[in-house]
Structure 1
Amino acid sequence: MHDPLSRPMAVLSRRTTLFLGLAALIGFQTGDATAQRRPRELHVFTSGGFTAAFEALAKQYERDTGVHIVTEHGPSMGDTPQAIPNRLARHEAADVVILARSGLDRLAEQKVVTPGTTVDLGLSKIAVAVKAGAPTPNITTPDALRSTLLTAKSVAWSDSASGVYIQSAMLDRLGIADQVRPKGRMIPATPVGKIVADGQAEIGFQQLSELKPVKGIRIIGLLPDTLQKVTPFSAGVVAYSPHQAEARALIAYLASPKAHRQIRDSGLEPVVAKVTP
């Protein structure tokens, strides 16, 4: 016997199925839009001076937010393909850059960094290292450092902010540029500490935060105060990043008190964040 309710129930079932299908489609599309607004990952370029601090902070940020951080490394300046300005010129995927302030300011002037997003994160000082087990040279005063450099058979410094200062300013201030530059090497990309550890240079200069992670060396100490150059390491949002708000949120996190312990442990001095126009 034909059930008079079967036809209406079949129609209702088809309508219900259609409604649920449409709801699922709308939900899927809404989910896609949310995923676009909240990226699952951010790409960050950082130079060596902030690398150790950022490695710890990126893990912490991922735990707190669920956003995956993809980290790439490169010098703040220089002619190597890995240098951050050169990578940005090629429009490699990037949302945030962290590098020496002088390099960041140049990127801001070139409109590669979004205006109003540059923030100082940590202050870095230059340190001196020798191979582990080597005699300890005296660098405690400018005169002692001058004597040490004149005696050294080979010297290395980076091709980034610290090395540019040593080669173009400090040696002149010590009055030994003509004697030391010929036996000095400006090292591109490779950490200076590794060059010293491998015995390719008797003494090396680089940011303390870049020397600390290197094995096989002994850090003698910082440059004397009257010769020291303090370099801010700073962050900015890449102008072509499709995730401007999320990149700003990451920088705010790096500049917050939550990040101070990791920054200090890496050999940098945390600074109170200040956004510049």
Structure 2
Amino acid sequence: MRLTLSRLFFSLSTALGAALSVCAAQAGEVQVAVAANFTAPIKEIAAQFEQDTGHKVVAAFGPTGGFYTQIRNGAPFDVFLAADDTTPEKLDKEGATVPGSRFTYAIGKLVLWSAREGYVDDKGEVLKKNEFRHLSIANPKAAPYGLAGMQTLAKLGLTEAIRPKLVEGANITQAYQFVATGNAELGFVALSQVYKDGKITGGSAWLVPANLYDPIRQDAVILLKGRDNPAAKALLDYLKGPKAAAVIKAYGYELQTAK
């Protein structure tokens, strides 16, 4: 009996080891360029993705416009998660992506936010009062949320009055940090940076009405470097699934409705 059990244990151990070896051999790594506004969600999604698939996500965060330049100059990214739909579309037309891989993974929302409780009212009247010293905003030439902020000021007729008070961050993360550290009393940031599970996580905010800026459709695409990387396709498939959707919605994004 001892010999039989010993052989059985050995057989099971061998089989388990072989299975783990196969999984390890099949697991890959995907290099992802991620728009700064999506930093927190992708970290959660990546952890789930790695646990469920064995593939490893190596992410870099920054402005969409900056990533476009890096990609065109040969940066080694497999996947691009942009903060708009125009930049991935442009890369599509330039032949820098895998045809048919592009889709909208999230629709972003703009918020006027202050780290101070009660500083920003729920109708954004604080902008019209113009009693603050600094308003933080991401570079509108590189960051779609910065562009949305400028569009909002234009729609409200406040561009020229507020322009001298603008403090510009290189990306939406830096724009957020200016407000969080008190270097600016308030700023235009992505809702995802200050929102989790149905509420603003600190300070005060005005959710900017969608009619004041162009829709922020955020597209994902596989780049040419990732065309033969199974982990790249697996990640985009995962972004379309229910687990990723739950995380994306938890951070205040909307999802593209099926056509």
The TM-score with structure 1 as length reference comes to 0.74
- Aligned Cα RMSD in Å? 2.7
Q: SS in structure 1 opposite 2:32?
A: strand
- 1:119 aligned partner: 103
Task: Give the 4+ runs in structure 1 shifted more than 3 A.
Answer: none
Please give the residue correspondences for 1:30-69 in structure 2 after superposition, counting only pairs within 5 Å: 35=25, 38=26, 40-69=28-57
- Whether the aligned pair in 2 keeps the contact of 1:140 and 1:224 (CA below 8 Å) is no
- 2:184 aligned partner: 201
2:133 corresponds to which of 153, 175, 181: 153
- Whether the aligned pair in 1 keeps the contact of 2:114 and 2:180 (CA below 8 Å) is yes
- 2:244 aligned partner: 259
Larger radius of gyration: 1
Q: 1:137 to 1:65 in 2, by over 3 A?
A: closer
Q: What runs of 5+ residues in structure 2 fail to find an aligned partner?
A: 1-20
Please give the residue correspondences for 1:187-266 in structure 2 after superposition, counting only pairs within 5 Å: 187-189=169-171, 190-212=173-195, 218-241=203-226, 243-266=228-251
- Whether the aligned pair in 2 keeps the contact of 1:120 and 1:273 (CA below 8 Å) is no
Quick one: percent identity of the two aligned structures?
Answer: 24
- Cα offset for 1:109? 2.2
The residue identity in structure 1 corresponding to 2:133 is: K
- Whether the aligned pair in 1 keeps the contact of 2:110 and 2:148 (CA below 8 Å) is no
Aligned length: 230
- Whether the aligned pair in 2 keeps the contact of 1:49 and 1:99 (CA below 8 Å) is no
Q: Does the alignment pair 1:183 with 2:165? A: yes
Q: SS in structure 2 opposite 1:270?
A: coil
The residue identity in structure 1 corresponding to 2:236 is: I
Q: 1:210 to 1:229 in 2, by over 3 A?
A: farther
- Whether the aligned pair in 2 keeps the contact of 1:95 and 1:243 (CA below 8 Å) is no
Q: 1:183 to 1:147 in 2, by over 3 A?
A: same
- Whether the aligned pair in 1 keeps the contact of 2:105 and 2:255 (CA below 8 Å) is yes
